[in-house]
Amino acid sequence: MTEKHSVIRTVDISFSYQEGTQALSRVNLHADKGEFVAMLASNGSGKTTLLKVMAGLLKPQTGQVLVNGKSIGEYKASQLYQHIGFVLQNPNDQLFAPTVQQDIAFGPRNLGLDDAEVDRRVANALKQVGAEHLAGRAIHQLSFGEQKRIGLAGILAMQPSILVLDEPTAGLDPAGEAKMLNLLSRLNREQKITVIMATHSVDMLPLFADRIYVLGKGRVLSAGTAEEVFADHDMVSGASLRLPYISRLLHELRHLDGLPVDDMPLTINAARRRIMELIPPELIINRLVDKENG
């Protein structure tokens, strides 16, 4: 079975809240080891519900979640938290200790680790999120972006192999958004942590995500690479989403101005390369430097 290769997989998950809202209908998705998977959907589509089901915080009425091929019901809670780390959307819901150091230490301490190992984990987690300088700070004195990173550090201190994040860039300014996505990308590439995140960062997604799931009204509407998913314009607008702005620009240059571009570049560098190919070489001052994803 292909299940063997997925570190996490949902099988036909359906979930209804008590008062009757059906939030998820037969959702199947998976992430393979080391993949960076994004879940793109408008508000109210079921992203948070699905992530909570995947992290074992909500129990679906039907279907199951498999982690390394085993149903999450078969894991003890403490075991499960070492496989899946769930970073909540709002850091205020995640952080509760008085200081940064105490907050990050809480999880490892609960695992029964000795003081030296707890200290090591805290130092390492702070380093991973680039926040060593915040160790002694009071939680309530942190900026929102810092709170988000410390929330992530608290989860990383549990050393999960899968990170599940609910809108990690929501509420951040553009620099904070880029910083968070770069941080997640680095954790994914360098430490082979599998990442599954819900996001609205459409413009950045093609740079980071190996695969994208588009959800609408609790169902999977589309799944594939950014190229595959964004190729279906009707599906994208039907899901109340939009294309990356750079793709829209190229699309309009093609349709309104007759620019001969057949493919649809999704990143600024891909668009730049296509446009440069169409410009007579004698008009180009700087030679095209092929710097992918820079």
Ligand X SMILES: Nc1ncnc2c1ncn2[C@@H]1O[C@H](COP(=O)(O)OP(=O)(O)O)[C@@H](O)[C@H]1O
Q: Which residues bind ligand X (CB under 6 A)?
A: 17, 19, 21, 23, 41, 43-49
Distance of closest approach, residue 223 Cβ to ligand X, in angstroms: 16
Residue 221, binding choice from Mg ion, ligand X, none, Cβ under 5 to 8 Å by partner class: none
Residue 101's binding partner, choosing from Mg ion, ligand X, none, with beta-carbon cut-off 5 to 8 A by kind? none
Q: Closer to ligand X by CB, 19 or 257: give it.
A: 19
- Using CB under 5 A as the binding rule, the residues of this chain from 127 to 186 that contact Mg ion are none
- Measured from the CB atom, the residue of 22 and 143 that comes closer to ligand X is 22
Assess 90 for contact with Mg ion (CB under 5 A).
no
The DSSP-derived string for the chain is -GGGGEEEEEEEEEEE-TTS-EEEEEEEEEEETT-EEEEE--TTSSHHHHHHHHTTSS--SEEEEEETTEEGGGS-HHHHHHHEEEE-SSGGGT--SSBHHHHHHHHHHHTT--HHHHHHHHHHHHHHTT-GGGTTSBGGGS-HHHHHHHHHHHHHTT--SEEEEE-TTTT--HHHHHHHHHHHHHHHHHH--EEEEEE--TTTHHHH-SEEEEEETTEEEEEE-HHHHHT-HHHHHHTT----HHHHHHHHHHHHH-----S---SHHHHHHHHHHHS-GGG-SSPPP--TT-
Residue closer to ligand X by CB (options 49, 101) is 49
- Out of 16, 48, 64, 90, name the contact with Mg ion by CB under 5 A: 48
- Least separation in angstroms between CB 253 and ligand X: 33
Candidates 46-54, 211-219, 233-241, 255-263; binding stretch for Mg ion (CB under 5 A): 46-54
Q: Which residues bind Mg ion (CB under 5 A)?
A: 47-48
